[in-house]
Amino acid sequence: MIKVLFVSFESLPFVKTGGLADVVYALPKALDKENFEVRVVMPMFKTIKEKYYEGMKYLDHIYVHSGYINEEANIYSYFNEGVEYLFIENDTYFYRDGIYGYADDAARFSFYNCAVLEMMIKLDYYPDICHEHDYHAAVLPALCKVRYNAIESIRNIKHILTIHNLAYQGEYDKKVLFDYLAFDYHYYENGDLRYNDYCNFMKIGIVFADYVTTVSRTYAQEIQTPEYGNKLDVILRYRGADLYGIVNGIDTDSFNPMTDKSIYYNYGIRNYLKGKKENKRSLQYQLGLEEKPDTLLIGMVSRLTFQKGADLVLGAIQDILRKDVQVAILGTGESKHEYSFKMLENENKGRFVYYCGYNEALAHNMYAGLDMLLMPSLFEPCGISQLISMRYGTLPFVRETGGLKDTVEPLNEYEMTGTGFTFGPYSVHDFLNAFNYAYTQYYEYPERWKMLIKNAMKYDVSFAKSAREYEELYRRVLIK
Protein backbone atom coordinates (compact mmCIF):
# COMPACT_ATOMS: atom_id res chain seq x y z
CA MET A 1 0.00 0.00 0.00
CA ILE A 2 1.52 3.31 -1.12
CA LYS A 3 0.87 6.16 1.32
CA VAL A 4 0.26 9.52 -0.34
CA LEU A 5 -0.25 12.80 1.52
CA PHE A 6 -1.83 15.69 -0.37
CA VAL A 7 -0.57 19.00 1.03
CA SER A 8 -2.85 21.85 0.05
CA PHE A 9 -4.33 25.11 1.33
CA GLU A 10 -7.69 24.34 -0.29
CA SER A 11 -10.10 21.50 -0.90
CA LEU A 12 -13.79 21.11 -1.42
CA PRO A 13 -16.11 20.83 0.41
CA PHE A 14 -14.24 22.81 3.06
CA VAL A 15 -12.85 25.90 1.35
CA LYS A 16 -12.42 27.04 -2.24
CA THR A 17 -11.09 30.08 -4.07
CA GLY A 18 -10.31 28.37 -7.39
CA GLY A 19 -9.81 25.16 -9.33
CA LEU A 20 -7.16 23.93 -6.88
CA ALA A 21 -9.90 23.00 -4.43
CA ASP A 22 -11.73 20.96 -7.07
CA VAL A 23 -8.62 18.92 -7.87
CA VAL A 24 -7.65 18.21 -4.26
CA TYR A 25 -11.22 17.07 -3.62
CA ALA A 26 -11.74 14.92 -6.71
CA LEU A 27 -8.32 13.32 -7.30
CA PRO A 28 -7.97 11.49 -3.94
CA LYS A 29 -11.46 10.04 -4.46
CA ALA A 30 -10.48 8.75 -7.90
CA LEU A 31 -7.24 7.00 -6.88
CA ASP A 32 -7.21 3.23 -6.54
CA LYS A 33 -7.96 2.63 -2.84
CA GLU A 34 -6.62 -0.93 -2.97
CA ASN A 35 -3.12 0.30 -3.78
CA PHE A 36 -3.04 3.85 -2.45
CA GLU A 37 -3.78 5.18 1.04
CA VAL A 38 -4.52 8.85 0.57
CA ARG A 39 -4.78 11.62 3.15
CA VAL A 40 -5.08 15.39 2.75
CA VAL A 41 -3.60 17.92 5.17
CA MET A 42 -4.73 21.54 5.22
CA PRO A 43 -5.14 24.48 7.62
CA MET A 44 -8.25 24.76 9.74
CA PHE A 45 -9.58 28.10 8.53
CA LYS A 46 -12.29 30.03 10.31
CA THR A 47 -15.07 28.88 7.98
CA ILE A 48 -14.00 25.26 8.38
CA LYS A 49 -13.86 25.53 12.15
CA GLU A 50 -17.31 27.10 12.33
CA LYS A 51 -18.95 24.42 10.17
CA TYR A 52 -17.07 21.15 10.75
CA TYR A 53 -15.31 21.42 14.13
CA GLU A 54 -17.84 19.40 16.14
CA GLY A 55 -17.49 16.43 13.80
CA MET A 56 -13.70 16.31 13.98
CA LYS A 57 -11.55 13.94 16.04
CA TYR A 58 -8.70 15.43 18.07
CA LEU A 59 -5.41 13.62 17.39
CA ASP A 60 -2.56 15.48 19.07
CA HIS A 61 -0.77 18.73 19.89
CA ILE A 62 2.42 20.03 18.24
CA TYR A 63 4.94 22.84 18.70
CA VAL A 64 6.46 24.66 15.74
CA HIS A 65 9.75 26.46 16.33
CA SER A 66 11.15 27.86 13.09
CA GLY A 67 13.19 31.04 13.16
CA TYR A 68 11.00 33.70 14.75
CA ILE A 69 7.94 31.44 14.58
CA ASN A 70 7.06 29.92 17.94
CA GLU A 71 3.53 28.58 17.74
CA GLU A 72 1.45 25.66 18.90
CA ALA A 73 -1.17 23.76 16.93
CA ASN A 74 -3.71 21.02 17.33
CA ILE A 75 -4.17 18.23 14.80
CA TYR A 76 -7.67 17.00 13.95
CA SER A 77 -9.03 14.30 11.67
CA TYR A 78 -12.20 14.32 9.59
CA PHE A 79 -13.43 11.80 7.03
CA ASN A 80 -15.23 13.01 3.92
CA GLU A 81 -16.41 10.61 1.21
CA GLY A 82 -13.88 7.96 2.23
CA VAL A 83 -10.87 10.31 2.39
CA GLU A 84 -9.22 11.33 5.68
CA TYR A 85 -8.51 15.04 6.04
CA LEU A 86 -5.99 16.22 8.63
CA PHE A 87 -6.49 19.77 9.87
CA ILE A 88 -3.87 21.99 11.49
CA GLU A 89 -5.57 24.29 13.99
CA ASN A 90 -3.75 27.51 14.82
CA ASP A 91 -5.93 30.57 15.33
CA THR A 92 -3.02 33.01 15.08
CA TYR A 93 -2.53 32.28 11.40
CA PHE A 94 -5.72 30.61 10.21
CA TYR A 95 -8.73 31.95 12.12
CA ARG A 96 -9.48 34.74 9.65
CA ASP A 97 -12.27 35.65 7.27
CA GLY A 98 -10.13 35.14 4.16
CA ILE A 99 -7.63 32.57 2.94
CA TYR A 100 -4.99 34.68 1.20
CA GLY A 101 -3.95 38.29 0.87
CA TYR A 102 -2.61 39.06 4.35
CA ALA A 103 0.56 41.00 5.22
CA ASP A 104 1.93 37.98 7.10
CA ASP A 105 1.23 35.41 4.38
CA ALA A 106 4.90 34.46 4.20
CA ALA A 107 4.86 33.56 7.90
CA ARG A 108 1.53 31.75 7.54
CA PHE A 109 2.73 29.58 4.65
CA SER A 110 6.07 28.92 6.38
CA PHE A 111 4.31 27.84 9.57
CA TYR A 112 2.01 25.54 7.62
CA ASN A 113 4.88 23.75 5.86
CA CYS A 114 6.80 23.27 9.09
CA ALA A 115 3.65 22.19 10.95
CA VAL A 116 3.04 19.41 8.40
CA LEU A 117 6.45 17.94 9.24
CA GLU A 118 5.98 18.32 12.99
CA MET A 119 2.62 16.57 12.58
CA MET A 120 4.34 13.64 10.85
CA ILE A 121 6.80 13.29 13.71
CA LYS A 122 4.17 13.53 16.43
CA LEU A 123 1.74 11.12 14.79
CA ASP A 124 4.53 8.79 13.62
CA TYR A 125 2.97 9.03 10.18
CA TYR A 126 5.42 9.19 7.29
CA PRO A 127 3.94 9.03 3.78
CA ASP A 128 5.84 7.48 0.93
CA ILE A 129 4.94 10.47 -1.24
CA CYS A 130 4.02 14.06 -0.46
CA HIS A 131 1.98 15.58 -3.26
CA GLU A 132 2.30 19.34 -2.78
CA HIS A 133 -0.09 21.72 -4.50
CA ASP A 134 0.95 25.23 -5.58
CA TYR A 135 3.36 27.60 -3.90
CA HIS A 136 1.67 27.52 -0.48
CA ALA A 137 3.10 24.03 0.06
CA ALA A 138 6.12 24.27 -2.24
CA VAL A 139 8.89 24.67 0.36
CA LEU A 140 8.06 21.31 1.94
CA PRO A 141 10.46 19.30 -0.32
CA ALA A 142 13.34 21.61 0.66
CA LEU A 143 12.50 21.37 4.35
CA CYS A 144 12.54 17.58 4.11
CA LYS A 145 15.83 17.44 2.24
CA VAL A 146 17.67 20.25 4.04
CA ARG A 147 16.32 20.96 7.53
CA TYR A 148 14.67 17.68 8.54
CA ASN A 149 16.98 15.33 6.65
CA ALA A 150 18.46 13.87 9.85
CA ILE A 151 15.19 11.96 10.26
CA GLU A 152 15.44 9.06 7.84
CA SER A 153 11.68 8.61 7.46
CA ILE A 154 11.37 12.24 6.34
CA ARG A 155 14.51 12.19 4.21
CA ASN A 156 13.14 9.22 2.26
CA ILE A 157 9.83 10.86 1.36
CA LYS A 158 9.40 11.48 -2.37
CA HIS A 159 7.86 14.75 -3.55
CA ILE A 160 5.61 15.71 -6.45
CA LEU A 161 4.79 19.40 -6.84
CA THR A 162 1.74 20.30 -8.93
CA ILE A 163 1.65 23.81 -10.40
CA HIS A 164 -1.97 24.87 -10.79
CA ASN A 165 -1.21 28.41 -11.94
CA LEU A 166 2.35 29.67 -12.38
CA ALA A 167 1.19 33.28 -12.17
CA TYR A 168 1.11 32.87 -8.38
CA GLN A 169 4.55 32.06 -7.00
CA GLY A 170 4.88 33.31 -3.41
CA GLU A 171 7.71 35.82 -3.83
CA TYR A 172 8.95 37.46 -0.61
CA ASP A 173 11.94 39.16 0.94
CA LYS A 174 14.89 36.79 1.32
CA LYS A 175 14.64 37.22 5.11
CA VAL A 176 11.70 34.80 5.01
CA LEU A 177 14.16 31.98 4.32
CA PHE A 178 15.92 32.60 7.61
CA ASP A 179 13.39 34.37 9.84
CA TYR A 180 10.51 31.94 9.25
CA LEU A 181 11.95 28.83 7.57
CA ALA A 182 15.28 28.74 9.44
CA PHE A 183 17.33 27.59 6.47
CA ASP A 184 21.10 27.76 6.65
CA TYR A 185 22.48 30.75 4.72
CA HIS A 186 24.68 28.36 2.72
CA TYR A 187 21.67 27.21 0.68
CA TYR A 188 20.85 30.78 -0.24
CA GLU A 189 24.44 31.54 -1.12
CA ASN A 190 24.79 28.54 -3.45
CA GLY A 191 21.58 29.49 -5.31
CA ASP A 192 19.34 26.57 -4.28
CA LEU A 193 16.98 28.85 -2.35
CA ARG A 194 17.74 32.15 -4.08
CA TYR A 195 15.77 33.76 -6.84
CA ASN A 196 16.98 37.23 -7.92
CA ASP A 197 17.89 38.03 -4.29
CA TYR A 198 14.36 37.09 -3.21
CA CYS A 199 12.63 34.11 -1.69
CA ASN A 200 10.36 32.45 -4.24
CA PHE A 201 8.37 29.51 -2.86
CA MET A 202 7.48 28.12 -6.28
CA LYS A 203 11.06 28.21 -7.50
CA ILE A 204 12.19 26.34 -4.38
CA GLY A 205 9.57 23.68 -4.97
CA ILE A 206 10.51 23.25 -8.64
CA VAL A 207 14.17 22.78 -7.69
CA PHE A 208 13.68 20.38 -4.78
CA ALA A 209 10.67 18.27 -5.85
CA ASP A 210 11.42 14.89 -7.42
CA TYR A 211 8.80 15.48 -10.10
CA VAL A 212 6.88 18.58 -11.13
CA THR A 213 3.46 18.35 -12.73
CA THR A 214 1.02 20.84 -14.08
CA VAL A 215 -2.59 20.54 -15.06
CA SER A 216 -2.43 20.05 -18.83
CA ARG A 217 0.05 18.85 -21.43
CA THR A 218 0.02 22.09 -23.39
CA TYR A 219 0.53 24.23 -20.28
CA ALA A 220 3.54 22.07 -19.32
CA GLN A 221 5.10 23.07 -22.64
CA GLU A 222 3.95 26.70 -22.50
CA ILE A 223 5.49 27.44 -19.10
CA GLN A 224 8.92 26.50 -20.43
CA THR A 225 8.77 29.55 -22.72
CA PRO A 226 9.43 33.20 -21.79
CA GLU A 227 5.87 34.14 -22.83
CA TYR A 228 4.17 31.90 -20.26
CA GLY A 229 6.98 31.02 -17.84
CA ASN A 230 6.53 34.04 -15.55
CA LYS A 231 10.33 34.36 -15.27
CA LEU A 232 10.70 30.74 -14.15
CA ASP A 233 10.98 29.28 -17.67
CA VAL A 234 14.75 28.74 -17.34
CA ILE A 235 14.26 26.71 -14.14
CA LEU A 236 11.40 24.75 -15.71
CA ARG A 237 13.46 23.94 -18.81
CA TYR A 238 16.23 22.76 -16.49
CA ARG A 239 13.70 20.36 -14.87
CA GLY A 240 12.10 19.55 -18.22
CA ALA A 241 12.83 15.82 -18.02
CA ASP A 242 10.93 15.67 -14.72
CA LEU A 243 8.03 17.92 -15.78
CA TYR A 244 4.70 16.33 -16.69
CA GLY A 245 1.35 17.68 -17.82
CA ILE A 246 -1.69 15.75 -16.60
CA VAL A 247 -5.07 17.16 -17.58
CA ASN A 248 -7.55 17.75 -14.77
CA GLY A 249 -11.00 16.23 -14.63
CA ILE A 250 -14.09 17.17 -12.66
CA ASP A 251 -16.14 15.39 -10.03
CA THR A 252 -18.85 13.87 -12.21
CA ASP A 253 -21.09 13.19 -9.21
CA SER A 254 -21.26 16.88 -8.33
CA PHE A 255 -21.68 17.89 -11.97
CA ASN A 256 -24.28 15.55 -13.44
CA PRO A 257 -27.22 16.94 -15.43
CA MET A 258 -29.19 13.76 -14.72
CA THR A 259 -29.15 14.27 -10.94
CA ASP A 260 -28.23 17.94 -10.41
CA LYS A 261 -30.76 19.40 -7.96
CA SER A 262 -29.83 22.97 -8.85
CA ILE A 263 -31.12 22.87 -12.42
CA TYR A 264 -34.73 23.13 -13.55
CA TYR A 265 -34.95 19.94 -15.61
CA ASN A 266 -32.73 16.88 -15.31
CA TYR A 267 -31.56 15.25 -18.53
CA GLY A 268 -28.97 13.01 -20.13
CA ILE A 269 -27.75 12.29 -23.63
CA ARG A 270 -30.98 10.45 -24.49
CA ASN A 271 -33.21 13.48 -23.85
CA TYR A 272 -30.71 16.31 -24.20
CA LEU A 273 -32.86 18.26 -26.67
CA LYS A 274 -35.73 18.57 -24.24
CA GLY A 275 -33.35 19.07 -21.32
CA LYS A 276 -31.45 21.91 -22.96
CA LYS A 277 -34.68 23.53 -24.15
CA GLU A 278 -36.33 23.44 -20.72
CA ASN A 279 -33.25 24.70 -18.87
CA LYS A 280 -32.71 27.46 -21.41
CA ARG A 281 -36.27 28.65 -20.96
CA SER A 282 -35.88 28.53 -17.18
CA LEU A 283 -32.57 30.43 -17.30
CA GLN A 284 -34.04 33.16 -19.51
CA TYR A 285 -36.92 33.59 -17.08
CA GLN A 286 -34.61 33.53 -14.04
CA LEU A 287 -32.31 36.20 -15.48
CA GLY A 288 -35.00 38.45 -16.94
CA LEU A 289 -34.06 37.76 -20.54
CA GLU A 290 -36.69 37.63 -23.26
CA GLU A 291 -38.00 34.08 -23.45
CA LYS A 292 -36.93 33.29 -26.99
CA PRO A 293 -36.14 29.58 -27.26
CA ASP A 294 -34.51 29.77 -30.68
CA THR A 295 -32.16 32.71 -29.99
CA LEU A 296 -28.51 31.81 -29.42
CA LEU A 297 -27.80 32.22 -25.70
CA ILE A 298 -24.11 32.64 -24.82
CA GLY A 299 -22.41 33.42 -21.54
CA MET A 300 -19.46 33.38 -19.18
CA VAL A 301 -19.00 31.90 -15.71
CA SER A 302 -15.65 33.36 -14.79
CA ARG A 303 -13.45 35.79 -12.96
CA LEU A 304 -13.58 38.96 -15.04
CA THR A 305 -9.89 39.55 -15.56
CA PHE A 306 -7.44 40.11 -18.37
CA GLN A 307 -6.29 36.47 -18.05
CA LYS A 308 -9.83 35.19 -18.62
CA GLY A 309 -10.30 37.26 -21.79
CA ALA A 310 -12.84 39.74 -20.42
CA ASP A 311 -11.23 42.46 -22.52
CA LEU A 312 -11.70 40.39 -25.68
CA VAL A 313 -15.38 39.94 -24.93
CA LEU A 314 -15.81 43.65 -24.31
CA GLY A 315 -13.90 44.46 -27.50
CA ALA A 316 -16.19 42.23 -29.55
CA ILE A 317 -19.49 42.71 -27.73
CA GLN A 318 -20.98 45.46 -29.89
CA ASP A 319 -20.49 43.34 -33.01
CA ILE A 320 -21.98 40.35 -31.20
CA LEU A 321 -25.02 42.29 -30.04
CA ARG A 322 -25.85 43.28 -33.63
CA LYS A 323 -26.74 39.63 -34.14
CA ASP A 324 -29.66 37.58 -32.85
CA VAL A 325 -28.04 36.64 -29.55
CA GLN A 326 -28.55 36.91 -25.81
CA VAL A 327 -25.67 37.23 -23.35
CA ALA A 328 -25.43 36.25 -19.66
CA ILE A 329 -22.34 36.98 -17.55
CA LEU A 330 -21.69 35.62 -14.04
CA GLY A 331 -18.65 36.65 -12.03
CA THR A 332 -16.59 39.35 -10.37
CA GLY A 333 -13.21 40.78 -11.21
CA GLU A 334 -11.56 44.01 -12.22
CA SER A 335 -13.78 46.99 -11.44
CA LYS A 336 -13.50 48.40 -14.96
CA HIS A 337 -14.85 45.15 -16.41
CA GLU A 338 -17.66 44.95 -13.85
CA TYR A 339 -18.67 48.53 -14.68
CA SER A 340 -18.62 47.86 -18.43
CA PHE A 341 -20.78 44.75 -18.13
CA LYS A 342 -23.25 46.56 -15.88
CA MET A 343 -23.54 49.39 -18.43
CA LEU A 344 -24.14 46.85 -21.19
CA GLU A 345 -26.98 45.37 -19.18
CA ASN A 346 -28.55 48.82 -18.71
CA GLU A 347 -28.33 49.50 -22.43
CA ASN A 348 -29.61 46.09 -23.57
CA LYS A 349 -32.39 45.07 -21.21
CA GLY A 350 -33.83 41.69 -22.04
CA ARG A 351 -30.83 40.77 -24.20
CA PHE A 352 -27.84 41.17 -21.88
CA VAL A 353 -27.64 40.42 -18.16
CA TYR A 354 -24.74 40.68 -15.73
CA TYR A 355 -24.79 39.01 -12.31
CA CYS A 356 -22.03 40.62 -10.23
CA GLY A 357 -20.96 38.00 -7.72
CA TYR A 358 -20.83 34.24 -7.57
CA ASN A 359 -23.84 32.00 -7.12
CA GLU A 360 -23.19 28.24 -7.28
CA ALA A 361 -26.79 27.33 -8.11
CA LEU A 362 -26.96 29.96 -10.86
CA ALA A 363 -23.65 28.70 -12.26
CA HIS A 364 -25.15 25.20 -12.59
CA ASN A 365 -28.22 26.67 -14.28
CA MET A 366 -26.01 28.50 -16.75
CA TYR A 367 -24.04 25.37 -17.58
CA ALA A 368 -27.35 23.64 -18.27
CA GLY A 369 -29.20 26.50 -19.98
CA LEU A 370 -26.62 28.23 -22.18
CA ASP A 371 -26.06 27.22 -25.77
CA MET A 372 -22.40 28.25 -25.70
CA LEU A 373 -19.89 29.10 -22.95
CA LEU A 374 -17.18 31.67 -23.67
CA MET A 375 -13.64 31.04 -22.37
CA PRO A 376 -11.34 33.24 -24.49
CA SER A 377 -8.47 33.08 -21.99
CA LEU A 378 -5.07 34.68 -22.50
CA PHE A 379 -3.68 31.63 -20.70
CA GLU A 380 -5.43 28.78 -18.92
CA PRO A 381 -3.42 26.07 -17.10
CA CYS A 382 -6.31 23.64 -17.39
CA GLY A 383 -9.73 25.17 -16.92
CA ILE A 384 -12.72 23.61 -15.24
CA SER A 385 -15.66 25.44 -16.77
CA GLN A 386 -15.18 24.01 -20.26
CA LEU A 387 -15.27 20.48 -18.79
CA ILE A 388 -18.45 21.22 -16.85
CA SER A 389 -20.10 22.84 -19.86
CA MET A 390 -19.38 19.79 -22.04
CA ARG A 391 -20.83 17.55 -19.35
CA TYR A 392 -24.06 19.58 -19.59
CA GLY A 393 -24.11 19.79 -23.39
CA THR A 394 -23.21 23.48 -23.55
CA LEU A 395 -20.61 23.98 -26.26
CA PRO A 396 -17.34 25.60 -25.15
CA PHE A 397 -15.96 28.49 -27.19
CA VAL A 398 -12.29 28.72 -26.20
CA ARG A 399 -8.91 30.08 -27.12
CA GLU A 400 -6.33 27.43 -28.02
CA THR A 401 -4.14 27.65 -24.93
CA GLY A 402 -3.22 25.35 -22.04
CA GLY A 403 -5.88 22.90 -20.99
CA LEU A 404 -8.47 24.52 -23.25
CA LYS A 405 -6.48 23.35 -26.26
CA ASP A 406 -6.08 19.87 -24.75
CA THR A 407 -9.74 19.31 -23.92
CA VAL A 408 -11.83 21.07 -26.58
CA GLU A 409 -11.79 19.63 -30.09
CA PRO A 410 -12.89 22.17 -32.71
CA LEU A 411 -15.66 21.31 -35.13
CA ASN A 412 -14.50 19.47 -38.22
CA GLU A 413 -17.50 19.75 -40.52
CA TYR A 414 -16.06 17.29 -43.04
CA GLU A 415 -15.43 14.45 -40.60
CA MET A 416 -18.33 15.53 -38.37
CA THR A 417 -16.19 15.55 -35.23
CA GLY A 418 -15.56 18.05 -32.47
CA THR A 419 -16.85 19.18 -29.09
CA GLY A 420 -16.87 22.97 -29.46
CA PHE A 421 -15.26 25.97 -31.13
CA THR A 422 -11.72 27.35 -30.84
CA PHE A 423 -9.57 30.23 -32.05
CA GLY A 424 -5.85 30.92 -31.92
CA PRO A 425 -4.28 34.40 -31.73
CA TYR A 426 -5.37 36.54 -28.78
CA SER A 427 -7.15 39.28 -30.72
CA VAL A 428 -10.65 40.66 -31.13
CA HIS A 429 -10.39 39.98 -34.86
CA ASP A 430 -9.75 36.25 -34.39
CA PHE A 431 -12.32 36.04 -31.61
CA LEU A 432 -15.00 37.51 -33.87
CA ASN A 433 -14.09 35.34 -36.84
CA ALA A 434 -14.49 32.22 -34.70
CA PHE A 435 -17.69 33.55 -33.15
CA ASN A 436 -19.23 34.29 -36.55
CA TYR A 437 -18.41 30.73 -37.60
CA ALA A 438 -20.10 29.30 -34.49
CA TYR A 439 -23.09 31.61 -35.03
CA THR A 440 -23.49 30.30 -38.56
CA GLN A 441 -23.38 26.70 -37.37
CA TYR A 442 -26.10 27.34 -34.81
CA TYR A 443 -28.56 28.98 -37.21
CA GLU A 444 -27.80 27.31 -40.54
CA TYR A 445 -26.60 23.81 -39.60
CA PRO A 446 -28.67 22.64 -36.63
CA GLU A 447 -27.76 18.98 -37.20
CA ARG A 448 -24.09 19.80 -36.80
CA TRP A 449 -24.89 21.66 -33.60
CA LYS A 450 -26.76 18.63 -32.25
CA MET A 451 -23.83 16.41 -33.21
CA LEU A 452 -21.46 18.67 -31.27
CA ILE A 453 -23.71 18.55 -28.20
CA LYS A 454 -23.75 14.75 -28.24
CA ASN A 455 -19.98 14.59 -28.74
CA ALA A 456 -19.43 17.01 -25.86
CA MET A 457 -21.68 15.05 -23.51
CA LYS A 458 -19.89 11.80 -24.41
CA TYR A 459 -16.44 13.29 -23.74
CA ASP A 460 -14.86 11.78 -20.61
CA VAL A 461 -14.41 14.70 -18.21
CA SER A 462 -13.96 12.54 -15.11
CA PHE A 463 -10.77 12.22 -13.08
CA ALA A 464 -10.49 8.51 -13.93
CA LYS A 465 -7.89 8.89 -16.69
CA SER A 466 -5.96 11.56 -14.78
CA ALA A 467 -5.94 9.37 -11.66
CA ARG A 468 -4.37 6.49 -13.59
CA GLU A 469 -1.64 8.82 -14.86
CA TYR A 470 -0.92 10.06 -11.34
CA GLU A 471 -0.83 6.48 -10.05
CA GLU A 472 1.80 5.65 -12.66
CA LEU A 473 3.80 8.74 -11.66
CA TYR A 474 3.56 7.80 -7.97
CA ARG A 475 4.98 4.35 -8.74
CA ARG A 476 7.72 5.87 -10.87
CA VAL A 477 8.84 8.40 -8.26
CA LEU A 478 9.31 5.67 -5.66
CA ILE A 479 12.06 4.05 -7.71
CA LYS A 480 13.69 7.30 -8.80
pTM, 2 dp:
0.91
Residue 317 lies in a domain: yes
237 and 299 belong to one structural domain? no
Q: What is the gyration radius of the CA atoms in the chain, in angstroms?
A: 23
120 and 213 belong to one structural domain? yes
- Per-residue pLDDT of 357-414, as tens digits, reads 889 899 999 999 999 999 999 999 999 999 999 999 999 999 999 999 999 999 999 8
**What is residue 192's predicted lDDT score, i.e. its pLDDT?**
81
**Position 19 pLDDT exceeds 90:** no
Residue 254 lies in a domain: no
Helical segments of 192-332, H only: 201-208, 217-222, 233-238, 272-287, 310-321
What is the count of structural domains for the chain? 2
92 and 238 belong to one structural domain? yes
Residue 262 lies in a domain: no
317 and 425 belong to one structural domain? yes
- Torsions phi, psi of 450, nearest 5? -65, -40
CA dist., res. 149 & res. 273, Å (int): 60
Residue 260 lies in a domain: no
- Any idea what DSSP says for residue 253? T
**What is residue 184's predicted lDDT score, i.e. its pLDDT?**
87
List the 421-423 sheet strands across, edge first. Answer: 352-356, 325-331, 296-301, 372-375, 395-399, 421-423
Question: Confidence class of residue 275 from pLDDT cuts 50, 70 and 90?
Answer: very high
Burial (Cβ within 10 Å: 0-12, 13-18, ≥19) of residue 38: buried
CA dist., res. 204 & res. 191, Å (int): 10
Residue 165 lies in a domain: yes
- Per-residue pLDDT of 52-88, as tens digits, reads 999 999 999 999 999 999 999 999 999 999 999 999 9
Residue 40 lies in a domain: yes
Average pLDDT of the residues in 165-183: 93
- Per-residue pLDDT of 284-315, as tens digits, reads 999 999 999 999 999 999 989 889 999 999 99
240 and 331 belong to one structural domain? no
Question: Confidence class of residue 190 from pLDDT cuts 50, 70 and 90?
Answer: confident
468 and 450 belong to one structural domain? no
391 and 284 belong to one structural domain? yes
Residue 212 lies in a domain: yes
Number of CB atoms found within 10 A of residue 141's CB: 24
Residue 409 lies in a domain: yes
Cα 76 to Cα 39, 56, 90, 102, 141: the distances in Å are 12, 6, 11, 25, 23
Average pLDDT, the chain: 95
321 and 444 belong to one structural domain? yes
299 and 186 belong to one structural domain? no
**Cβ contact 262:365 at 8 Å:** yes
29 and 128 belong to one structural domain? yes
Chain centroid to Cα 321, Å, comes to 31
**Cβ contact 10:24 at 8 Å:** yes
Residue type, 231: K
**What is residue 335's predicted lDDT score, i.e. its pLDDT?**
93
* Helix or strand holding residue 86 (H, E): strand 83-89
Question: Confidence class of residue 223 from pLDDT cuts 50, 70 and 90?
Answer: very high
286 and 195 belong to one structural domain? no
CATH number, position 365: 3.40.50.2000
Which residue range(s) make up the domain with 239? Answer: 2-249+464-478
Phi and psi based region of residue 197 (left: phi greater than 0; alpha: psi -120 to 50; beta: remaining): left
123 and 14 belong to one structural domain? yes
